[in-house]
A = this chain, B = another copy of it.
Amino acid sequence: MSDQVSISSEIFELLRVPSTATLTSVLAKHGLHNTAMLDVRPLKPGMRMVGQAFTLRYIPAREDLDHGGTTDNLTDPQRVAIERVGPHDVLVIDARGDIRAGSMGAILATRLFKRGAAGAVTDGAFRDYAEIAESGLPAFARAAHPAANKTIHHPTDFQLPIACGGVAVYPGDVVVGDDDGVVVIPRRLAANVAETAVAQEQREEFIFEKIRSGASIVGVYPPSPETLAEYEVWRKQRDRNRG
C-alpha cells in the first residue's frame, strides 16, 4: 500500500529485537496503555512477527448473503485483501472476538505466506490450526475452530480502522507479536518506539544477568544511578567486543 511505505526496513529490523513486553512499556511512557490485544496467542510457541497492519473487517453473517454461494475472489473483501497483502504486511482481522468459526484456513494462510506477508492476526479463531502453525506464516488467534468463516462472519471491507482483541488498529500501524501476544504501535510512533525499546531491551538484558547472578532487585530493578553507570561500562565493553 502506497501510504504504508514510510516505515523503513531499518525500523522493522530494530523491532525484531525487543519483546512485546518491552514495547508495551515504551508505549505506556507515551501515554498509551491499551496496546496489546486481549487473549490472542501465537499458534505455536516461539512465533515472532513484525509488520504493518493490513486490516480486514468481518460483521455477522446473514444466511441469504453468506450461506451457500460460491466465493468470488474478485469481489469478496477477504479474498481481495489476501491478494493485495504484500511484504511487511500483517493481515489483521476484526472478527468481533467471535470464535464460532475460523477467520481463515490454511490455503489462504499459505497464499499470504507465498505473497511474503509478515503474519496474520485474528481475534476470532483459525481453521486448519495445526497446518497454519506449520505453514511458515506467523499467526496469532484466540482459538481453533473447523468451520469456514462465512458460517458466522461476513467479510465487509478492508483497510479501514478496526477493533482487534480490544485494541484499535489503523491501517499501517506496526504490529509485533511474540509468545506474550500482539502489540499495536501507532505508525507515527514506530521509529521512536523502536529505538527506545531496543535501548531498554539492552538495559534489561544487563539487569537480567545481574538478577540471574543473585543480585537483589533493590538498586538493580529499577536501576540506581550506580547500576546505570555500571551498565554504561558493560554496554560500551560489549559494543567494543562486537565491533
Contact = CB atoms under 8 A, between A and B. Distances in A.
A100 B38 contact: yes
Given A67-B28, A204-B107, A211-B114, A36 B217 contact: no
A197 to B, nearest CB: 12
Contact of A128 (B19, B31, B64, B114): B19
Nearest to A157: B160
Interface in A33-47: 33-36, 38-39, 41, 45-46
A130 B111 CA distance: 29
Nearest to A184: B62
A84 to B, nearest CB: 11
Interface in A15-42: 19-21, 23-25, 28-36, 38-39, 41
A162 to B, nearest CB: 6
Contacts of A41: 144
A127 interface: yes
Interface residues of A, number: 86
Nearest to A216: B83
A144 B207 contact: no
Interface of A: 19-21, 23-25, 28-36, 38-39, 41, 45-46, 59-65, 67-68, 70-71, 73-74, 79, 82-83, 96, 99-100, 102, 105-108, 110-111, 114, 127-130, 143-148, 151, 154, 156-157, 160-163, 166-168, 178-181, 183, 186, 204, 207-208, 211-212, 214, 216-219, 221-222
6 contacts: A21-B127, A41-B144, A46-B130, A64-B186, A71-B222, A73-B221
